[in-house]
């Protein structure tokens, strides 16, 4: 999630003149970790394919030379099957002259070489890094780099980025890429067509390669923007001519020819690998996907999450930080300090022996005293930056964000998430999606904004739209989730399950309806399942740190902005007017106190902030249990935050983004109204 905070670039935005070092490779081979090692910049590293969906770049000195190091999304080939794969291919095509480093998983040498062949066919010199060599050794799948280098003709370096092993050697070879000696022989009709296409594209030597020609023959539509428009008809004709001489689809013939070439290379280098050995981790991996045992395992994971994030993080830690640190000490000190600086006559309310922000006795003030009061209220008033924004952001939300990301990091690095996708594939089918959509949906529990970007790993527009909608509508992000958990605690199991039921019900119902309404179809469920790995504490800590930093940078300013907005509205006496304006909805429709309007107002900025406002109301006894459930459900189903809204517009287009937002607004208040009505009819309110 830190990509949001660090530089995200479209290929076109990258600085042009600098020499580049491109990291390219299959998904989940450790490119991002290696990128971090080479540049000392952190990008999110996880144990599942699709962690990187944007291009990340950073300047670094590699073996004494300056390079713009570029991390790309993982790809299985240079004929893209999804948006993130396309990003990787595009950057390769638009970086002529760059040093290319292919990163591969040593245990997966066959797939690694399949990609090497394609890079070679694009006529690009490269260095091959066989990463995760420690794991390969453990699994008895070691490959001799020297033997492979002799066959392939490029420098081959075995590394373990996780253990920082052999990276200096890698850096030396990274700036000395070579052209590969390996090649594939295709059926005669294809070879002839390749020659014709290369001749047709000869004006641009960077495009006139076997690789581009083969992509054209394989029917790669995504290549069109790179090809000269004038040649398109001619290329189609060449392709049609070649296909008419062949009995099988060319894309298939090309890929099988490549695979048999890989097997030949492996045969020559006598590096056939055996199938994985059975061991404890493999057993555990199988257990988590078992048709019977997978479910208790999933429940256990959820229960532990609840204990750690809900009970410990949102309960014990929040209580301690909010009450002991903020209310009893920090806020009191700040109030006393401000009172010393900004002087005007007033007495603070003493609640339970503690100095509170509320005060009385400020009458007949001079102009100077009014200015002092303004500054005082801005910082420590009921809508003060310290007493409200900082208390919410640091005391209520931060502990939850930290505990959640710790737990989530363990789940990510263990490789459990793709296994969850296996368990939930059938369920997601009902919503017009497939198991792969589990990844962005679960990521949404961390941050909906980042998760919306991750929808790029999905194959069809339909899936992307549905997941974007469901994320924005029904998946609370970590910050909000924590507040929700803290609020659900005192409600008891009955009302808490109303919230769970309505939220899950909404996801399934809206997903199901959307699957009927949105045109198109779901892609195939084909998902790589990474091996179960023991999470490494240092990676989790770094990840938690990066994500917490991101939260502080991203959310806290908005908290302050929201508070300022409330303060200004309050100061200008507009807040009560606005509350009166919203009364028919908030009071009449939802059956909530007028004050709850404030929470929904700031909910437009960030819904976790809105939730925190409701939490404060609940704690102050301003909400009955039934009101709490209604308010909580509405704020859960709200648009997550401004950042998410903007990303939605960017990724899905303005029209779709606005349609989704409009629907969410109407739906969230509508469902709150229905709930209030139902409680009313049931005689519970």
Partner 1 sequence: MIHPAGDEILERLWYAKEEGRTIASIAELPLNGDTAQAADALIASHQIRCGKTVELLPEGEERARGIVRRHRLSEILFAQVLEVDPHDAEQSACEFEHMLTERVVDRVCTFLGHPPSCPHGKTIPQGSCCRVYSRTVEPLITRLVDLPLGTTGCVVFIAPRSVQRLNRLAAFGVVPGSEVRLIERLPSVVLACGQTSIAVEDEIGREIYVRPMA
Contact with partner 1 (CB under 8 A) among 52, 95, 108, 159: 108
Q: Is residue 222 within the footprint of partner 1 (CB under 8 A)?
A: no
Nearer to partner 1, 286 or 365 (CB): 286
Provide the terminal-to-terminal Cα distance of the chain, rounded to the nearest Å. 42
Contact with partner 1 (CB under 8 A) among 291, 361, 584, 683: 291
Contact with partner 1 (CB under 8 A) among 141, 433, 467, 544: 141
Two tokens at 631?
A: 């308010």
Contact with partner 1 (CB under 8 A) among 73, 104, 145, 294: 294
Nearer to partner 1, 38 or 441 (CB): 441
Nearer to partner 1, 161 or 423 (CB): 423
Of 524-543, which residues contact partner 1 (CB under 8 A)?
524-531
Binding mask 176-215 for partner 1 (x = CB under 8 A): ----------------------------------------
Contact with partner 1 (CB under 8 A) among 107, 133, 597, 598: 107
Nearer to partner 1, 215 or 668 (CB): 215
CA-based torsion, 7, 12, 15, 20: positive or negative: positive
Q: Is residue 296 within the footprint of partner 1 (CB under 8 A)?
A: no
Assess contact for 548 and 405: CB atoms under 8 A: yes
**Pick from 340, 314, 328: nearest CA to 407:** 314
Q: What angle do CA 621, 317, 620 make, to 5 degrees?
A: 10
Of 400-459, which residues contact partner 1 (CB under 8 A)?
418, 421-426, 434-435
Nearer to partner 1, 33 or 109 (CB): 109
State in angstroms the smallest separation of the CB of 260 from partner 1. Answer: 8
Q: Which stretch binds partner 1 (CB under 8 A): 158-166, 236-244, 285-293, 359-367?
A: 285-293
Q: Is residue 255 within the footprint of partner 1 (CB under 8 A)?
A: yes
State in angstroms the smallest separation of the CB of 127 from partner 1. Answer: 22
Q: Is 501 in a helix, a strand, or coil?
A: helix
Distance, CA of 83 to CA of 156 (rounded, Å):
29
| Phi, psi of 371, deg, nearest 5 | -65, -45
Two tokens at 666?
A: 């109407």
Distance, CA of 407 to CA of 308 (rounded, Å):
8
Q: Which stretch binds partner 1 (CB under 8 A): 247-255, 333-341, 401-409, 614-622?
A: 247-255
State in angstroms the smallest separation of the CB of 193 from partner 1. Answer: 17
Q: Which residue, chain included where needed, has tokens 């004709």? A: 237
Contact with partner 1 (CB under 8 A) among 63, 147, 198, 286: 286
Q: Is 359 in a helix, a strand, or coil?
A: strand
Q: Is residue 111 within the footprint of partner 1 (CB under 8 A)?
A: yes
Q: Which stretch binds partner 1 (CB under 8 A): 193-201, 231-239, 248-256, 395-403?
A: 248-256
Of 25-84, which residues contact partner 1 (CB under 8 A)?
76-77, 79, 81
Contact with partner 1 (CB under 8 A) among 105, 142, 463, 554: 105
Nearer to partner 1, 515 or 618 (CB): 515
Two tokens at 636?
A: 């859960």
C-alpha distance from residue 612 to each of 67, 454, 524, 644 (Å): 45, 27, 40, 18
Q: Is 100 in a helix, a strand, or coil?
A: strand
Q: Is residue 225 within the footprint of partner 1 (CB under 8 A)?
A: no
> Which class for 415: exposed (0-12), middle (13-18), buried (19 or more C-beta within 10 A)?
buried
Q: Chain-centre distance of CA 51, in angstroms?
A: 7
State in angstroms the smallest separation of the CB of 281 from partner 1. Answer: 12
Q: Is residue 299 within the footprint of partner 1 (CB under 8 A)?
A: no
Contact with partner 1 (CB under 8 A) among 67, 139, 376, 547: 139
Q: Is residue 17 within the footprint of partner 1 (CB under 8 A)?
A: no
**Beta strand pairing status for 347-351 and 354-360?**
antiparallel
State in angstroms the smallest separation of the CB of 81 from partner 1. Answer: 6
State in angstroms the smallest separation of the CB of 524 from partner 1. Answer: 5
- Residue 272 per-residue DSSP state: P
Nearer to partner 1, 110 or 169 (CB): 110
- DSSP structure string for 340-352: HHS--S-EEEEET
Q: Is residue 293 within the footprint of partner 1 (CB under 8 A)?
A: no
Distance, CA of 109 to CA of 136 (rounded, Å):
10
State in angstroms the smallest separation of the CB of 98 from partner 1. Answer: 24
Q: Is residue 276 within the footprint of partner 1 (CB under 8 A)?
A: yes
Q: Is residue 280 within the footprint of partner 1 (CB under 8 A)?
A: no
Distance, CA of 650 to CA of 644 (rounded, Å):
10
For residue 241, give the H/E element and its range.
helix 232-244
Cβ neighbors of 81 (< 8 A, separation 6 or more) are: 459
> Which class for 384: exposed (0-12), middle (13-18), buried (19 or more C-beta within 10 A)?
buried
Q: Is residue 290 within the footprint of partner 1 (CB under 8 A)?
A: yes
State in angstroms the smallest separation of the CB of 527 from partner 1. Answer: 5
**Beta strand pairing status for 156-158 and 126-131?**
parallel
Two tokens at 625?
A: 């249990």
Q: Could you tell me how many residues of this chain bind partner 1 (CB under 8 A)?
A: 47
Contact with partner 1 (CB under 8 A) among 114, 201, 402, 445: 114
Q: Is residue 122 within the footprint of partner 1 (CB under 8 A)?
A: no
Q: What angle do CA 544, 547, 550 make, to 5 degrees?
A: 150
State in angstroms the smallest separation of the CB of 84 from partner 1. Answer: 14
State in angstroms the smallest separation of the CB of 289 from partner 1. Answer: 5
Largest CA distance in the chain: 97
Assess contact for 180 and 128: CB atoms under 8 A: no
Q: Is 128 in a helix, a strand, or coil?
A: strand
Two tokens at 570?
A: 């309050």
Nearer to partner 1, 116 or 661 (CB): 116
Residues near partner 1 (CB under 8 A): 76-77, 79, 81, 105, 107-108, 110-111, 114, 139, 141, 218, 249, 251-252, 255-256, 259-260, 263, 273, 275-276, 285-286, 289-291, 294, 418, 421-426, 434-435, 524-531
């Amino acid at each position: 999630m830190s990509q949001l905070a660090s530089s995200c670039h479209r290929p076109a935005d990258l600085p042009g003149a600098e020499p580049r070092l491109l990291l390219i490779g299959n998904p989940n081979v450790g490119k991002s970790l290696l990128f971090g090692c080479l540049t000392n910049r952190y990008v999110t590293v996880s144990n599942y394919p699709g962690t990187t969906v944007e291009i990340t770049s950073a300047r670094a000195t590699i073996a004494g030379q300056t390079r713009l190091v570029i991390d790309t999304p993982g790809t299985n080939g240079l004929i893209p099957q999804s948006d993130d794969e396309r990003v990787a291919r595009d950057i390769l095509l638009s970086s002529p002259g760059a040093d290319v480093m292919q990163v591969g998983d040593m245990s997966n040498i066959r797939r690694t070489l399949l990609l090497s062949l394609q890079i070679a066919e694009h006529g690009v010199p490269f260095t091959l890094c066989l990463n995760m060599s420690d794991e390969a050794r453990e699994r008895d799948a070691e490959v001799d780099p020297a033997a492979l280098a002799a066959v392939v003709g490029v420098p081959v370096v075995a590394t373990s980025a996780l253990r920082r092993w052999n990276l200096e050697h890698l850096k030396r070879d990274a700036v000395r890429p070579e052209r590969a000696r390996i090649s594939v022989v295709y059926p005669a009709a294809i070879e002839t067509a390749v020659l014709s296409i290369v001749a047709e594209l000869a004006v641009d030597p960077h495009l006139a390669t076997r690789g581009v020609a083969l992509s054209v023959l394989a029917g790669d539509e995504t290549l069109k923007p790179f090809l000269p428009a004038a040649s398109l008809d001619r290329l189609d004709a060449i392709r049609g001519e070649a296909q008419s001489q062949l009995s099988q689809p060319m894309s298939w013939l090309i890929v099988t020819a490549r695979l048999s070439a890989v097997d030949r290379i492996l045969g020559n280098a006598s590096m056939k690998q055996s199938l994985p050995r059975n061991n404890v981790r493999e057993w555990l991996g199988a257990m988590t996907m078992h048709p019977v045992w997978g479910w208790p395992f999933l429940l256990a994971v959820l229960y532990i999450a609840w204990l750690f994030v809900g009970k410990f993080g949102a309960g014990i830690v929040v209580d301690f930080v909010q009450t002991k640190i903020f209310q009893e000490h920090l806020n009191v000190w700040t109030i006393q300090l401000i009172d010393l600086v900004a002087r005007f006559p007033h007495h603070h309310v003493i609640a339970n022996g503690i100095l509170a922000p509320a005060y009385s006795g400020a009458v007949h003030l001079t102009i100077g005293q009014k200015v002092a009061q303004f500054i005082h209220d801005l910082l420590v008033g009921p809508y003060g930056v310290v007493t409200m924004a900082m208390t919410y952001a640091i005391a209520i939300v931060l502990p939850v964000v930290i505990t959640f990301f710790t737990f989530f990091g363990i789940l990510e690095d263990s490789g459990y998430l793709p296994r969850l996708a296996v368990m939930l594939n059938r369920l997601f089918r009902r919503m017009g999606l497939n198991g792969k959509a589990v990844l962005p949906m679960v990521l949404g529990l961390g941050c909906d904004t980042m998760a919306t970007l991750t929808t790029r790993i999905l194959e069809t527009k339909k899936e992307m739209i549905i997941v974007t909608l469901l994320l924005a509508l029904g998946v609370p992000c970590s910050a909000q989730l924590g507040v929700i958990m803290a609020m659900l605690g005192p409600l008891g199991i009955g009302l808490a399950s109303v919230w769970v039921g309505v939220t899950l019900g909404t996801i399934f119902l809206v997903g199901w309806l959307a699957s009927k309404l949105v045109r198109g179809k779901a892609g195939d469920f084909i998902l790589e399942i990474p091996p179960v790995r023991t999470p490494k504490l240092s990676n989790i800590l770094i990840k938690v740190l990066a994500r917490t930093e991101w939260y502080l940078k991203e959310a806290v300013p908005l908290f302050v902005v929201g508070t300022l907005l409330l303060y200004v509205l309050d100061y200008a006496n507009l807040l009560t007017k606005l509350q009166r304006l919203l009364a028919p909805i908030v009071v009449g429709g939802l059956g909530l106190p007028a004050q709850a309007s404030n929470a929904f107002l700031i909910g437009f900025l960030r819904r976790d902030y809105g939730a925190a406002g409701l939490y404060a109301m609940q704690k102050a006894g301003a909400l009955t249990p039934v009101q709490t459930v209604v308010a909580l459900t509405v704020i859960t189903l709200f648009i997550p935050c401004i950042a998410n809204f903007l990303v939605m517009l960017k990724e899905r287009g303005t029209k779709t983004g606005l349609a989704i937002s409009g629907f969410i607004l109407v739906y969230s208040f509508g469902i709150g109204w229905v709930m209030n009505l139902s409680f009313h009819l049931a005689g519970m309110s």
